[in-house]
A and B are shown apart, each in its own frame.
Chain A
Amino acid sequence: MASAIALHATPAFAHHSFAAEWDATRCRDFTGTLTKVDWQNPHPYFYVDVKDEKGKVENWSFQAYSPVTLRRNGTDRQVFLDNVNKSVWVRGCLSKTGKPNAAAAGTLKFSDGVLRQVGQIQD
């Protein structure tokens, strides 16, 4: 059952409260094309073209863990760069302020299908 256990990623601790800024009751799946990544502290943001149910494409931003945390869990900047213009699946939660097309990323899969924890997820 090690694989089952392994699906629960360890949260980043002692950091700030996810619930203060992001709405854990409004989390959803996103599928689209990775367009770019801004790799800066305290949080990288990556951008995904997401097609809605009417076929309209909108560019969403996703906040991730800090660069240090991402490097240490194996999802470094180069992983994102290697996947620009490729398909990506993201589980993310929406902003509490209602900021359009902005979410906090939790889990993510690039086209290699590997599940990656790239941010706090609360749902």
Chain B
Amino acid sequence: MATLTMRAQGRGGQSASAQPPKYEITVMPPGGPAPRLSDGHPDFTGHWFPNSAGQGVSGRFGVDPAAVRQFDPKVTPEERPAFQTWALEKIKSMTPTELELSKSSVNCMPRGVPAIWLQNPYTTYIVHKPGLMAQLYEVLNNWRIIRLDGRPLPKQPEPFFHGNSTARWEGDTLVVDSIGFDERTYIQPNGWFHSEDLHVTERYTRPSVNYLIVEITVDDPKVLQKPWKSAPRRWTLGNGEIYEFYCTNNKELEELEKLRQQELQGK
């Protein structure tokens, strides 16, 4: 009970105190100019954390809420996806357990593109050279290679979790267009599925040494009434290791399947 008492005091202390809170983990400053490759383009190489702290924040104490966020919705609000009626009805028909079972964080399926940039609490290590970007995802020990030579997209793409990509530079912004996605991926962990016509555009910038900004556009006319654009999401440069994460001991599926059966019997 000691913890509960301490937590209650914490809440009371906050409201009673006029002093601003002092956090141990705060927003990482932008740092100096971004490094550049030998070809003159920005170098995106780095170990990137999906927050504004440049380090892990989950389950830690004394974290400034601003350091947890990838964007401030008051400054750059993110629009809601405008679903086609049939798509919204399909999403709403999912039971809570069906929704849970669809999440890659639960079923250990690869998140895929663009979800790896939209619903990923783990780090990404980017290795960037002229003509090539390797993205090494900590979650599920996954990786993706993007060629930067402007090669055309395939006319009959195989369905891949990360899609089939082509890239070009627009000034200091790397623009990656991708088509041909595995139908088992979800855009976000809220039931937002996609059609075979999904077209994803990723825009990467590195405005300073410590910040990587990723903006996603989802174009999928069968599912969406209009393309959806994410807020510019900030990833911050961190030190420390990228860890092994093979999902080999998932005990939750069995429990969720039991709950799913209970839901079905209750219908």
Contacts and interface: CB of A to CB of B under 8 A. Distances in A.
Interface of A: 1-2, 4-17, 19-21, 29, 38, 40-43, 45, 63, 65-75, 91, 95-97, 99, 107, 109, 115, 117-119
Interface string B47-73: 000100001111111110000100000
Contacts of A66: 245
Contacts of B58: 10-13, 65, 69, 72-73
Determine the interface band of chain B, counting residues with CB < 8 A from chain A: 35 or more
B59 A16 contact: no
A42 B122 CA distance: 12
A107 B10 contact: no
Main secondary structure of the interface of B (DSSP, over half): loop
B81 interface: no
A5 B61 CA distance: 8
Contact of B256 (A20, A45, A68): A20
Given A20-B96, A66-B245, A10 B59 contact: yes
B187 interface: no
Contacts of A17: 96, 99-100
A4 B3 CA distance: 12
Interface stretch (B21-29, B154-162, B205-213): B21-29
Contacts of A70: 59
Contacts of B59: 9-12, 65, 69-70, 73, 75, 117-119
